[in-house]
Amino acid sequence: MSVNVHPRVDFDVIASLVEPGSRVLDVGCGDGELLELLQTTKGVDGRGVELSQKGVNDSVARGLSVIQGDADSDLKYYPDAGFDYVILSQTLQATRNPKNVLTELLRIGEKAIVSFPNFGHWRVRASLAINGRMPVTKDLPYSWYDTPNIHFCTINDFVDMTKEVGAHVESAVALNAFGGRLGFNMPWGFWNLFGQQAVFLLKR
Amino acid sequence: MTRTSRSTSKNDQKSQEATNPHSPVVEFGADKPLHLDSGVSLSPFRIAYQAYGELNADKSNAILICHALTGDQHVANLHPVTGKPGWWETLVGPGKPVDTDRYFVICSNVLGGCLGSTGPASINPETGKAYALDLPVITIADMVRAQAMLVSHFGIEQLFAVIGGSMGGMQVLEWASSHSDKVFAAVAIATGARHSSQNIAFHEVGRQAVMADPEWKEGRYLEHGTVPRKGLSVARMAAHITYLSETALHRKFGRNLQDRQNVTFGFDADFQIESYLRYQGMSFVERFDPNSYLYMTRAMDYFDLAAEHEGRLADAFAGSKTRFCIVSFTSDWLFPTSESRTVAHALNAAGASVSFVEIESDRGHDAFLLDEPEMFSAINGFIRSAARAKGLLPS
Q: Does A107 touch chain B (CB under 8 A)?
A: no
Note whether A47 contacts B354, CB cutoff 8 Å: yes
> Do B182 and B272 contact (CB within 8 A), yes or no?
no
Measured distance CA(B24)–CA(A147) in Å, rounded: 61
Reported as a single tens digit per residue, the pLDDT across A12-60 is: 999 999 999 999 999 999 999 999 999 999 999 999 999 998 899 899 9
Q: Does A185 touch chain B (CB under 8 A)?
A: no
- With a cut of 50, say whether residue A3 has pLDDT above it: no
Measured distance CA(A190)–CA(A120) in Å, rounded: 10
Residues 323-352 of B with CB under 8 A from A: 323, 325-326, 341, 344-345, 348-351
**DSSP 8-state code for residue B152:** H
Pick the CATH number of A9-203 from 3.30.70.20, 2.70.150.10, 3.40.50.150, 1.10.10.10: 3.40.50.150
**DSSP 8-state code for residue A7:** S
> Do B106 and B49 contact (CB within 8 A), yes or no?
yes
| pLDDT for B3 | 41
Predicted complex ipTM exceeds 0.85: no
Measured distance CA(B43)–CA(B35) in Å, rounded: 9
Q: DSSP string covering B366-392, please?
A: GGGGS--HHHHHHHHHHHHHHHHHTTS
Q: In sequence order, which ranges of B47-187 are alpha helices (DSSP H)?
A: 140-153, 167-178
> Do A71 and A27 contact (CB within 8 A), yes or no?
yes
Q: How many CB atoms lie within 10 A of CB A143?
A: 9
- pTM flag (> 0.95): no
> Do A83 and A23 contact (CB within 8 A), yes or no?
yes
Tell me the C-alpha to C-alpha distance, in Å, between residue B165 and each of A29, A88, B294, B328, B366. Answer: 27, 34, 19, 10, 9
- Percentage of chain A beyond pLDDT 90 is 67
Reported as a single tens digit per residue, the pLDDT across B72-85 is: 999 999 999 999 99
Q: Does A111 touch chain B (CB under 8 A)?
A: no
CATH fold for the domain made of B18-195+307-389: Rossmann fold (3.40.50)
The helix (run of H) or strand (run of E) holding residue A172 is: strand A168-175
Amino acid at B125: P
Q: Does B207 touch chain A (CB under 8 A)?
A: no
How many contacts does A have with B, using Cβ atoms within 8 A? 66
Residue A75 CB partners (closer than 8 Å, separation 6+): A27, A49, A101, A104, A105, A108
| pLDDT for A176 | 87
**DSSP 8-state code for residue A131:** I
Residues in chain B with CB shorter than 8 Å from the CB of A59 are: 355
Crossing angle (nearest 10°) for helices B272-287 and B246-253: 110
**B332 annotated active-site:** yes
| pLDDT for B8 | 53
Q: Does A80 touch chain B (CB under 8 A)?
A: no
**B166 annotated active-site:** yes
Residue B296 CB partners (closer than 8 Å, separation 6+): B69, B70, B110, B112, B113, B167
Q: Which residues of chain B are modeled with pLDDT < 50?
A: 1-7
Reported as a single tens digit per residue, the pLDDT across A50-92 is: 999 889 989 998 889 999 999 999 999 999 999 999 999 999 9
Q: Are strands B25-28 and A109-117 parallel, antiparallel or unpaired?
A: unpaired
Nearest CA-CA partner of B138 in B24, B277, B268, B293: B293
- With a cut of 70, say whether residue A5 has pLDDT above it: no
Of the candidates B60, B122, B166, B328, the residue annotated as catalytic is B166
> Do A24 and A66 contact (CB within 8 A), yes or no?
no
Reported as a single tens digit per residue, the pLDDT across B30-57 is: 999 999 999 999 999 999 999 999 999 9
- With a cut of 50, say whether residue A1 has pLDDT above it: no
Question: A19 by DSSP, 3-state: which?
Answer: coil
Architecture of domain B200-298: Orthogonal Bundle (1.10)
Where are the domains positioned within chain A? Answer: 9-203
Nearest CA-CA partner of B105 in B154, B140, B68: B154
DSSP E strand boundaries for chain B: 25-28, 34-35, 41-42, 45-52, 62-66, 92-93, 98-99, 104-108, 159-165, 183-189, 323-329, 353-359
Test mutation, A35, A47, A60, chain B, max B CBs within 10 A: A60
Question: Where do the CATH 3.40.50.1820 domains begin and end in chain B?
Answer: 18-195+307-389
How many angstroms from the chain centroid is the CA of residue B71? Answer: 5
Based on its alpha-carbon atoms, the radius of gyration of chain A, rounded to whole angstroms, reads: 16
